[in-house]
Chain A
Amino acid sequence: MSDAKSALPGARYEGFVKLREMGLQGMITLRGDLASAKLAAAVQTATGTAVPGQRQIVTEGDRAAAWMSPDELLLLVPYAEVADIIAAIETALAGEHFLAVNVSDARAMFRLEGALCRDAMAKLSPVDFSEAAFCPGDFRRSRMAQIAAAMWMPDGQSLQVICFRSVAQYAFDLLSAAAAPGSEPRLYG
């Protein structure tokens, strides 16, 4: 069997921030009662984190859990472990009403790195990226130009974006254009 490929393996761009496609990332959509103790335990086992609060992402090492909606989380785990983790969740939540499904291949993930990463994203999403409104730990779903996107800041100097796989090229081109040298809007930095 050949290795699985991410949407744009190795794609990179260097403008006033650095952009790269993040490669294969395990992602699990988990829908269920976010208040249930069983679900919390399953999340803890899968990601090592608690269930995130509204519009939050909690990270633990190479894993994270992000709040997508009142009954949906996105679990970020190593790509190779997805099937096992889903199996574990299914065991843990047996008898509960829930849905755990692998969406790793349905998505593409990008990272913007640099002090001005907020400035680049502010060109594309109708979101207040000021430090007072958006900082590490926040998780925001919105649109990026004409496509749906979810974004968060792993740290104060970088921004990560998830979009659908089919529009990965569009997303990469958008982010590249937004990061073009000389186009710094200097809104946030």
Chain B
Amino acid sequence: MSTRLAQGGRLLNKGRAMEFTFNGKRLRGFEGDTLASALLANDQMLIGRSFKYHRPRGIVASGGEEPNALVGLGTGNKFEPNQRATTTELFNGLSCTSQNHWPSLEFDIGAVNSKLGRFLPAGFYYKMFIHPRPLWKHVYEPFIRRSAGLGKAPTERDEDRYEHLYAFFDVVVIGGGVAGLQAARSAAEAGAKVLVMEQTAHWGGRAPVDGGTVNGQPVDNFVDETLAALRDMPNVTLRNRMMGAGVYDHGYVLGYERVTDHQPSAPGPRHRLWRIRAGQIITATGAIERPLSFAGNDIPGVMLASAVRDYAVNYGVSAGDRTVVVTNNDDAYLTAITLKKLGLDVPAIIDARSAGGGALADEARGLGIRVETGKGVAKVKGGKRVTGVSLCNQAGEGAEIEEIACDAVAMSGGWSPVVHLWSHCGGKLVWDTAQAHFRPDVDNAPTGAKGEAFVIAAGTANGELSLAGALADGHEAGREAARRLGLKASASDAPKGDSPAEAAIEPVWMMPQGAPIKLRMKSWLDYQNDVKVSDVQLAAREGFESVEHAKRYTTLGMATDQGKLSNINGLAILSDALNQPIPQTGTTTFRPPYTPISLSAIAGEARDELFQPIRRTPIQGWHDDNGAVYEPVGQWRRPYCFTRSGEDNHAAVSREIRQTRARLGLLDASTLGKIIVKGPDAGKFLDMLYTNMMSTLKPGKCRYGLMCNENGFLMDDGVVARIDEDTFLCHTTTGGAESIHGHMEDWLQCEWWDWKVYTANVTEQYAQIAVVGPEARNVLAELTEEDISAETLPFMGWSDITLDGIPARAYRISFSGELSYEIAVAAGHGRALWDRLMEVGAKHDVMPYGTEGLHVMRAEKGFIMIGDETDGTVIPQDLNMQWAISKKKEDYLGKRAQERSHMADPTRWKLVGLETLDGSVLPDGAYATEEGVNENGQRKVQGRVTSTYYSPTLDRGIAMGLLRHGPDRMGEVIDFPKVDGTVVQARVVDPVFYDKDGEKQNV
């Protein structure tokens, strides 16, 4: 059984016990425990079930590479699935549940999959999707759906807060082990501004567990001293519980800080995503031990040798009473020695190397541990827990020499540098034959904005596996980073590490070497996705020879652990199957994040009311209080209509329109774009921007204009007012304000930079209120003493007036066909003016109206709307707006494009009005069909509906649409099929449905 030892536990505060629950069972641990160590201390080796076969699985590792020990953490709005027990710090009251089992962890029905294992090989899903189809739908799919998927999605909203933080450093060191700390120190001594981030709560990495000395002192002393020195340096920032999630272009690094995961009741954000720019990045990310591929290597109790050592030394926890060590290198001997010294039984060290190990092997033998060389494990015995191993010759096919009873197996297949962050942004790797791993190719580092190398790997992450080598390498990495930044490198000496010399590793990719299929089918590579040695071999046989193909076919390395334990073993098996050297096979691509980060951290503050900016007009408060039903228009929310109690939107819109046409309506038009264009060349410039002639507009007058892009297509429209000889004010659509201003600046800065024109976007300077209806002049007259008669302020004129003491500009323009003034005042006065208009307007029966009323009224008048009648493929000529296209101008943006043959094609669809025969409202976007089918067998079309509304004024459906030869087909009846299969018939009519002669707006 796994248990807490009386001694050991360098990270524990045994004075503070903590209570937690696992599947409702109340358990105890100590402050400093991880959830994994606390579970092991309570003999909870079985943590979950595997993804595909639902095999019982226990803790394998002690860090972020853990594939098995995933739990659902927390409850309610704190619940989060797939959390690694090995990286979860224990806190009082922690509650977690196991995953992937039904009905219970101990007894799981899905485990029958394991018996069916030979029917669920690599590519099973792909093959089963093909045939037989009926079997898939009714038999396999329901079964697989039930068993697939890790964890459960949370059902409640996440109430925690998250945030981003932008930070800038000369040097960012990722990894707070001894190499990282030393690198930080030497970089900081050179004067660099340094950030060091460490993903765990503790500094020093695994060196203190592995032992050895630095400058003759224990490693812990070195770590403490270095930390103290770094804390004293004002140019150093130290952050633990912060993982280097990714390295990106131009020195961009994401740091994932888990601020309050370990103390959920503390104030502050739960996670903070650091968006860092670094001059140089040092990846001191350590190395990860590889499992060995022998049958039954997934049975709970089989763990990485380093993890067994970590739990014993850091947490005072034994994985078992009797631990067999299986290895191909010297490092695992440390585990045996450590356990033995703690008084635990180590029945045997099984070393696959025929020559065995070096000094550590001698030490182990000296402690009385049995060492078997040239041997391997044929298989592990046991079901939910290891009961023994079957000893065999490594060179053979697995014939059992002896069964060795044990309740834990500590395995080591060698160490792989964590090259992920080095590789994220293009750092290349080399295969180190002597150490049997990929390590960074220092000559091919990621390059930055100036083409400079900007990542340096240090320590074990750079393949320097010895304590002395890692320290020296870290020291030099810091010096090199400083040099690259143009600083004088630190003159300090590297600290001197000392640890026992190790004999060479011998690569072992399969144990035993000649394992038959029966054993290979039980030799796991990827624990989380249930990929075995036999699956990768099958993929190779079936032609998936590229490592990227084999990965996707088998799902090797595609689980939440991204194959941290399995990838190297898997590609070694693939190489062997393809009979090619490992470097020729290569690795799959390393992509960020290094381990999963929360989606909420990525979102940062952008949620709820901060999800995106909502733009508000100065009058919006009134709308909020008066029944506004909003619709989004860009980032604005404009009132669609103002409903009264018992009224639906349709009724409200009709009421607003009738009242406006009969008496007086008010519209908040503040969102309309307003751009000032000023300068001696302003007229010339606007002549290029608009299809019409703007330079001839007289001060005091307004003109409606169309704007096209260089492709000839309509992009915006609006009324231009000439303020004085040099100055124009261009109104744009609500959505066009920023883009049209940008468009103007683009042409001024990049094409006509010698033209004397300045622009300013003053959209938000003004609140703009449309005062619309027969009573419009009367209500304004009550607020001003100035002359606003039809003679002084005629249609399409503007005038500066004072309304109730507020300086205002009145544009006499109309988008409704009624007598109408658009009143612009400084935004700070907008609400006051609106309130006054409502007050004074009461006796004129004033009624605010929304955007739907605006749309219906403009459609009744046959006015086009950008975005309805236009969609980026429509030119002004399609809308019969030749009247707005100057024939005198040699050039304007879009003119040349409109001369292209397709644009001048007489069969282009053109704007018409449409009246249904039965008075109903045509469906929006409905197509006008004609006889026959096109080459794709689809019904031929000859036009479509662009705007369609119920007109309360006419009490019938009205619509506009684009129709081939439309204007020549007045009176013709066209079919518009509906989605339900029925057909609506509509007559082609003039698009101006109301007040055709424009008498009402011109009074």
Contact = CB atoms under 8 A, between A and B. Distances in A.
B731 to A, nearest CB: 15
| Interface residue range, chain A | 35 or more
Select the residue from B763, B804, B806, B826 with max chain A CB neighbours within 10 A: B826
B615 A167 contact: yes
Interface in B595-620: 605-606, 609-610, 612-618
Interface in B241-269: 266-269
A2 B612 CA distance: 33
B883 interface: no
Select the residue from B193, B267, B613, B679 with max chain A CB neighbours within 10 A: B613
Nearest to B805: A1
Contacts of B759: 99
Interface stretch (A38-46, A57-65, A121-129, A152-160): A121-129
Contact of B806 (A1, A146, A173): A1
A101 interface: yes
Contact of B827 (A106, A125, A167, A173): A106
Given A130-B168, A170-B610, A174-B605, A165 B161 contact: no
A170 B613 contact: yes
B758 interface: yes
Given A174-B605, A174-B610, A181-B267, A31 B828 contact: no
Q: Is the interface of A mostly helix, strand, loop or mixed?
A: loop
A97 B166 contact: no
B766 to A, nearest CB: 7
Nearest to B828: A4
Contact of B831 (A5, A107, A174, A187): A5
Interface residues of B, number: 51
B760 interface: yes
B165 A123 contact: yes
Interface string A164-177: 11111110011001
Given A97-B680, A104-B826, A182 B765 contact: no
A5 B680 CA distance: 35
Interface string A97-112: 1110111111100000
A108 B804 CA distance: 25
A105 B605 contact: no
A93 B521 CA distance: 87
B827 A105 contact: yes
Given A99-B676, A101-B760, A177-B610, A24 B164 contact: no
Contact of A177 (B163, B762, B827): B163
A115 interface: no
B764 A99 contact: no
Given A170-B613, A183-B267, A164 B832 contact: no
A180 interface: yes
A147 interface: yes
Given A145-B606, A147-B613, A123 B680 contact: no
Given A123-B166, A170-B610, A177-B163, A2 B676 contact: no
Contacts of B269: 183
A106 B765 contact: yes
Contacts of B678: 99
Interface string B475-502: 0000000000000000000000000000
A2 B605 contact: no
Nearest to B767: A105
A5 B621 CA distance: 13
B829 interface: yes
28 contacts: A1-B804, A1-B829, A1-B832, A4-B826, A5-B829, A7-B618, A29-B760, A97-B679, A97-B756, A98-B758, A101-B762, A104-B765, A105-B764, A106-B765, A106-B827, A122-B165, A125-B166, A164-B615, A167-B615, A168-B616, A170-B609, A170-B610, A170-B613, A177-B605, A177-B610, A182-B267, A183-B269, A187-B165
User: Which 7 pairs show the lowest CB-CB distances between chains A and B?
Assistant: A182-B267, A1-B805, A4-B828, A166-B615, A105-B827, A99-B758, A106-B764
